[in-house]
């Protein structure tokens, strides 16, 4: 099927000329002669590429570009800015607004054709699953305080030992214990980003807010400031942020806290795997069962869900894992043994357990779980390319 190109220009002659040139190359053409129409057609016509004039009345090309980049459904469409402006500053502004390439008028048809082809090839390569190596792993708890953050930190640290391009993001605004336990108590990077409008959450802005732990693990953190709890975060902004994290890191882990909420439900859509932590008691298991049901209804298949039973205390009153599996009607992916002292000491040293005491039983459990998650990614990728 021919690739579709949306050409945006307020000058009708320009539209015709470029349209004809590209049509001859075999592309399907759609046109818009102002910014609003361009935004509308970017949605309805689903183009593979947009060629965008800068100087237009009402809404200029920079603004159109920013809005396209700020909308998750048009964010990935490649854009070539096409304009009579020839100043270097204009070019910089174009790239800053999110353009993929820049052409100045008048241009030779062969030049136009080769730029279009190059941008389309690059974009196809970025979108094909084999080249999108990024993996998003979400963590939620059946309830609060049962070890979800500890689990996400240690899986992230285990992955970071294999691949330093690993980051962990704390979505518990106003209750961020993740930073505290790794020695970054007052980092407000997550809130700084999520208080911006979706279009202002750029990949550069996200990169600037990342902190690096001495282990190499990169972190996007929430603090304990109550102000953060009051932020009215748009789920689309959170989704945009995760997309940028995927562009910046191979492994993206999200600590989403207990239960489901607007953000975690939205983020589920772009997640490769979700890990649900449970405790071996009836209350937590019953909550977990309800959460699982919801998750599966939202459309995440059971094969992408991990259940991890965290035993924080040694007790004979606990429900054995076989019974827990029956209650949940789902296999347990891993069990984490009680390690209260080690958990305390590692947090005191601001280090993940897997690095603080790598030979401990729990460190091995975390590492093995991380390996299993990666193995599952490979098998899911194998299935999707085979089908
Ligand atoms: N395997 C374990 N054995 C003993 N204690 C543990 C274990 N894992 C975590 N803990 C401890 O349990 C407490 C809660 O852990 P954590 O903060 O990870 O839970 P959470 O579910 O993320 O909590 P919140 O709901 O506040 O986000 C911490 O003090 C942590 O050190
Ligand atoms: Mg937590």
- C-alpha neighbours within 13 Å on the C-beta side of residue 21: 18
Residues with Cβ < 8 Å from 314, sequence gap 6 or more? 338
Query: What confidence tens digit (pLDDT) does each residue in 81-113 have?
Result: 887 766 666 667 777 777 888 888 777 888 888
Ligand nearest to the backbone CA of 143: 1
Task: Quote the pTM value.
Answer: 0.71
Ligand nearest to the backbone CA of 311: 1
Ligand nearest to the backbone CA of 170: 2
Ligand 1, atom 10, residue with closest C-alpha = 147
Ligand 1, atom 16, residue with closest C-alpha = 147
Report the C-alpha gap between 251 and 271 in whole angstroms: 11
What dihedral do alpha carbons 105, 111, 112, 118 form, nearest 10°?
-130
| Model confidence band, residue 386 (pLDDT cutoffs 50, 70, 90) | very low
Neighbours of ion ligand 2 (CB under 5 A): 149
Overall average pLDDT of the 315-321 stretch:
83
335 Cα to the center of ligand 2, angstroms = 18
Q: Is 141 in the pocket of ligand 1 (CB under 6 A)?
A: yes
Query: What confidence tens digit (pLDDT) does each residue in 187-245 have?
Result: 999 999 999 998 889 998 999 999 999 989 999 999 989 899 999 999 999 999 999 99
Q: Is 336 in the pocket of ligand 1 (CB under 6 A)?
A: yes
Q: Where is average pLDDT lowest: 76-85, 157-166, 179-188, 335-344?
A: 76-85
147 Cα to the center of ligand 2, angstroms = 7
Ligand 1, atom 23, residue with closest C-alpha = 145
Q: Is 150 in the pocket of ligand 1 (CB under 6 A)?
A: yes
Q: Is 361 in the pocket of ligand 1 (CB under 6 A)?
A: no
pLDDT of residue 108: 82
273 Cα to the center of ligand 1, angstroms = 21
Q: Is 338 in the pocket of ligand 1 (CB under 6 A)?
A: yes
Q: Do β-strands 166-170 and 251-258 pair in parallel, antiparallel, or remain unpaired?
A: parallel
Q: Kindly list the structural domains of the chain, giving each domain's residue range(s) and its CATH number in brackets, ordered by start.
A: 4-127 (3.40.50.2300), 135-386 (3.40.50.300)
> In whole numbers, what is the pLDDT of the chain averaged over residues?
90
pLDDT of residue 131: 38
Q: Do β-strands 218-220 and 211-212 pair in parallel, antiparallel, or remain unpaired?
A: antiparallel
146 CA closest ligand 1 atom index? 21
DSSP 157: H
pLDDT of residue 130: 42
Q: Is 252 in the pocket of ligand 1 (CB under 6 A)?
A: no
Q: Which two tokens stand for residue 166?
A: 């690993």
Q: Is 149 in the pocket of ligand 1 (CB under 6 A)?
A: yes
209 Cα to the center of ligand 2, angstroms = 20
């Amino acid at each position: 099927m021919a690739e579709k190109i949306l050409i945006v220009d307020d000058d009708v002659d320009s539209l015709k000329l470029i349209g004809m040139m590209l049509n001859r190359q075999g592309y399907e053409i759609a046109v818009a002669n102002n910014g609003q129409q361009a935004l509308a057609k970017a949605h309805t016509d689903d183009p593979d590429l947009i060629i965008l004039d800068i100087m237009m009345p009402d809404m200029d090309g920079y603004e159109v570009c920013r809005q396209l980049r700020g909308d998750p459904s048009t964010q990935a469409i490649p854009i070539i800015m096409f304009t009579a402006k020839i100043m270097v500053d204009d070019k910089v502004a174009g790239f800053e607004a999110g353009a993929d390439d820049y052409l100045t008028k008048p241009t030779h048809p062969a030049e136009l054709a080769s730029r279009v082809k190059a941008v389309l090839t690059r974009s196809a390569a970025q979108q094909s699953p084999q080249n999108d190596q990024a993996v998003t792993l979400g963590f939620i708890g059946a309830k609060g305080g049962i070890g979800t953050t500890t689990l996400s930190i240690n899986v992230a640290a285990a992955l970071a030992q294999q691949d330093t391009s690993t980051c962990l993001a704390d979505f518990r605004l106003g209750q961020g214990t993740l930073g505290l336990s790794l020695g970054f108590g007052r980092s407000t990077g997550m809130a700084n980003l999520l208080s911006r409008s979706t279009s202002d959450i750029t990949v550069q802005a996200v990169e600037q807010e990342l902190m690096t732990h001495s282990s190499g693990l990169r972190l996007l953190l929430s603090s304990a400031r109550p102000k953060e709890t009051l932020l009215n975060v748009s789920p689309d902004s959170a989704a945009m942020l995760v997309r940028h994290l995927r562009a910046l890191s191979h492994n993206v882990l999200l600590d989403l806290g207990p239960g489901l909420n607007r953000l975690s439900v939205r983020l589920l859509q772009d997640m490769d795997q979700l890990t649900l932590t449970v405790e071996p008691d009836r209350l937590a298991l019953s909550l977990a069962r309800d959460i699982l049901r919801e998750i599966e209804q939202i459309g995440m298949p059971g094969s992408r869900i991990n259940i991890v039973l965290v035993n924080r205390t040694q007790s004979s009153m606990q429900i054995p894992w076989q019974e827990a599996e029956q209650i949940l009607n789902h296999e347990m992916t891993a069990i984490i043994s009680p390690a209260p002292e080690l958990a305390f000491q590692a947090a005191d040293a601001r280090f993940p357990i897997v690095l603080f005491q790598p030979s401990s039983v729990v460190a091995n459990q975390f590492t093995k779980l991380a390996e299993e998650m990666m193995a599952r990614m490979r098998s899911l990728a194998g299935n999707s390319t085979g089908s």
